[in-house]
Chain A
Amino acid sequence: MYKISFMLKNAWKPLSLILILYTIWAGMIWETPRLPILNETIRNLYFHVPMWFGMIIILLVACIYSIMYLNTKNIKYDIYSNQMTNVGILFGILGLVTGMIWAKYTWGEMWSGDAKQKGSAWGLFIYFVYLILRYSVSDPTDRAKFSSVYNILAYLALVPLLFIFPRMQDSLHPGNGGNPGFNSYDLDSRMRMIFYPAVIGWTLLGVWLATLRARLDLVREK
């Protein structure tokens, strides 16, 4: 059977699954506050927003790994950075899709040209180009160098697109057209109880996925 130290070191992985299952169950069953326009779709908060939070955190970690690769030239950092970026892109796509599904019921159409939608779609496009760059170079050292540099550039282009650019325009998004998301949600403590574990759970799941793929890549390198 497994050793106690192994179980303690890897306890966060099943924890992420438990948190996600809890948020799915609680998110659908528990009561939510009634707000105009939003009504029941406020439950989207438990799924759509953790995707974006997870994406930002994971892409930040990937950017930091890129910087560490450029400083130390240890290929391990580049592998971790690449897999983190892949998972970040996956979360971004899921966030965009959940947002579009929500928009169909709340705003009436899937794509309404809202500033945050446009900014996030374009930010995702930057990372798709990262994938193309990664596939187009064959030498591992060169590939690591270019993708690290591009990863840093891409993250620093993503931040204004997601945060600064939508604030400056009128937006349909709840909580925008001025201030950050949560004040106008009337986020009561019941929602917070589901929302924060959702963020933690999805982020941990993303990190688990990334580290698993990275370890596979490391073994393949040898």
Chain B
Amino acid sequence: MTINLLKSKSKQFYFIFVLLKKEFALDNKKKQNWSVALLYLFGSIFTIYLLVGQNKNNLSIPLWNSILWVILFFSAMQILANTFSKEPKNRDFYYSQITNAESIIFAKLIYNFIQVSILFVAGYFIFAFMLGNQVQNLPLFILSLVLGSASYVSTLTLVSAIAYKANSNNGIMAILGLPIVLPTTLEISQLSKNAIDGLDISVSYDEISIICSLIAISISLAFLLFPFLWKD
């Protein structure tokens, strides 16, 4: 009886807040996740900077765009690999008794979205600082970064759940996630290229609508499929 009350719908909204607070607290305690992710980002951008050479005009605009998105994708992968494995060992059973799987995945999605958006914006600023800023329509570019983080998070959270439950090493998450994320990556790089070229937002309505529908599909899939993974 008590368990049923605990799992009622109105309680779930409260639990999502609690789970979000828990995620922030966990990352605050172990600052390792953020520091590794930022260091990874900085390291890869620095490597590209050294490889490109001192002359910043070596990079054409499409190349600048593609390299940026590749780096952002792998850093998102890095930080999303920790979504499930940062919990202490046997807490999963405790959570599954208290809340339903939908609340857990919802909290993880929101928290990952915040994390990856901050990571992407920080990554863009570091990239622009080292390799030259060629963006002409900055608000649209920031929008493409945010939409990109939303689409990566919506698919890769589920993939990291699969990788976590399969008890495999980190390599399998990259290989699982990379192909699924490709259709969205193509659209997003097109959108960010439009932003770099300084085109008006009305030109990009097609891409934005496709990206938003793909995000919606991925989030609904994550909601549908995650309970099957979570219950043992």
Q: Which residues of A contact B (CB under 8 A)?
A: 70, 122, 125-126, 129, 132-133, 136-137, 142, 145-146, 148-150, 152-154, 156-157, 160-161, 164-165, 168
131-166 of chain B: CB within 8 A of chain A: 155, 158-159, 162, 165-166
Dominant secondary structure of chain A at its interface with chain B = helix
Number of interface residues of B (CB under 8 A): 24
Q: Give the segment of B12-20, B21-29, B51-59, B168-176 that binds chain A.
A: B168-176
Which chain B residues numbered 174 to 205 have a C-beta less than 8 Å away from chain A?
A: 175-176, 178-180, 182-183, 186
Minimal beta-carbon separation of A215 from chain B (angstroms): 26
| Residues in B whose Cβ lies below 8 Å from that of A165 | 183, 186
A125 and B179 form a contact (CB under 8 A): yes
- A154–B175 Cα gap in the complex (Å)? 13
Known: A145-B229, A160-B214. A126 touches B165 (CB 8 A): no
Given contacts A125-B179, A146-B162, 7 further A-B contacts (CB under 8 A): A129-B178, A129-B179, A142-B166, A148-B228, A149-B158, A154-B180, A164-B210
Q: For residue A136, which residues in chain B have a CB less than 8 angstroms away from its CB?
A: 166, 168, 172
Query: Which single residue of chain A is at the shortest CB-CB distance from B177?
Result: A129
B221 interfacial contact with A, CB 8 Å: yes
Main secondary structure of the interface of B (DSSP, over half): helix
B interface list, Cβ under 8 A from A: 155, 158-159, 162, 165-166, 168, 172, 175-176, 178-180, 182-183, 186, 206, 210, 214, 217, 221, 225, 228-229
CB pair B179 A122 closer than 8 Å: yes
User: How many Å lie between the Cα of A151 and that of B175 in the bound state?
Assistant: 15
> Which of A137, A156, A168 contacts B166 (CB under 8 A)?
A137
A170 to chain B, nearest CB (A): 14
- The CA of A121 and the CA of B186, in the complex, are separated in Å by 15
- Chain A residues closer than 8 Å to B229, beta-carbon distance: 145-146, 149
A181 vs chain B, min Cβ distance (A): 21
CA distance A125 to B172 in the complex (A): 14
Q: Which residues of A are found within 8 Å of B180, using beta-carbon distances?
A: 126, 153-154, 157
Instruction: Give Cα A136–Cα B165 distance, bound, in whole angstroms.
Output: 12
Knowing A146-B165, A150-B162, A161-B182 are in contact, say whether A133-B228 is a contact too (CB < 8 A): no
- Which residue on A lies nearest to B159, using beta carbons? A153
Q: Is the CB of A157 within 8 A of B221?
A: no
CB of A122 within 8 A of CB of B217, answer no
In the complex, the chain A residue whose C-beta lies closest to that of B225 is A149
B227 to A: closest C-beta gap in Å: 9
Pair A152/B172 contact, Cβ less than 8 Å = no
Q: Given A126-B180, A129-B176, A154-B180, check contact A145 B221 (CB 8 Å).
A: no
B179 is contacted by which of A142, A157, A160 (Cβ under 8 Å)? Answer: A157
- In whole Å, how far is A139's beta carbon from the nearest beta carbon of chain B? 9
For the complex, give the distance between the alpha carbons of A70 and B206 in Å.
Answer: 35
How close is A165's CB to chain B, nearest CB, in angstroms?
A: 6
Give chain B residues whose Cβ lies under 8 Å from the Cβ of A164: 183, 210
Residue of B nearest to A154 (CB): B180
Find out whether the CB atom of B183 lies under 8 angstroms from the CB atom of A146: no
Q: Can you give 18 A-B contacts (C-beta < 8 A)?
A: A70-B225, A70-B228, A126-B179, A132-B172, A142-B166, A146-B162, A146-B165, A148-B228, A149-B162, A149-B225, A150-B176, A152-B221, A153-B155, A153-B158, A153-B225, A154-B180, A157-B179, A157-B180
Q: Which residues of B contact A146 (CB under 8 A)?
A: 162, 165-166, 229
- Contact between B221 and A133 (Cβ–Cβ < 8 Å)? no
Contact (A160, B228) CB under 8 Å given A129-B176, A150-B176? no
Q: Smallest CB–CB gap between B88 and chain A, Å?
A: 22
- Which residues does chain A contribute within 8 Å of B155, judged by CB atoms? 153
